[in-house]
Amino acid sequence: MAFVLHPRLMVDTAGIADWSLSRLLLMNDKRYPWIVLVPRRADVTELFELDEAARITLTGEIARVSQRLKAWAKLRGGCDKINVGMIGNIVPQLHVHVVGRRKDDAAWPAPVWGQGAAQPYGAAELEQTLASLREAL
């Protein structure tokens, strides 16, 4: 079976790039610098379902995104912390959230999920953000 992105992720995100394992997506919520990594493996819902090599690759990709997202966010007002989350109760497809957080953001110190309404990017702002992230990542 081929990899297919979950419909909810298709609606809530925009594509940044494909790395060796993961598809990188920008969450369409400009309140936070927020990237989602989705391993391009069909029917994988849990981390332990990846083979050891893929788990190692995913860990490396998470670290790389986290480091580069923090540097990217620094140029745009900064972030105090990078949160990494992998829950999957709503979207069962294995995916990893990497979110830049500020001590003065609306959800701090709680998790970003369920905290207020998303603020989508405008079309031009989305394209500019995607281009900037592609360059930074």
Q: The domain that contains 129 carries what CATH number?
A: 3.30.428.10
| 3-state SS assignment for residue 108 | coil
Contacts by 10-14, CB closer than 8 A, 24 or more apart: 12/118, 14/126, 14/130
Residue 75 located in a structural domain: yes
Give the separation between CA 37 and CA 35, rounded to whole angstroms.
7
Residue 84 located in a structural domain: yes
Asked whether the predicted pLDDT for residue 88 surpasses 90, the reply is yes
Residue 25 located in a structural domain: yes
Residue 2 located in a structural domain: no
Are the C-beta atoms of 103 and 80 separated by less than 8 Å? yes
Q: Which domain holds residue 93?
A: 7-136
Residue 106 located in a structural domain: yes
Number of domains within the chain: 1
pLDDT digits (tens, 9 = 90+) for 25-64: 999 999 999 999 999 999 999 999 999 999 999 999 999 9
Token representation of residue 11: 């609606």
Residue 123 located in a structural domain: yes
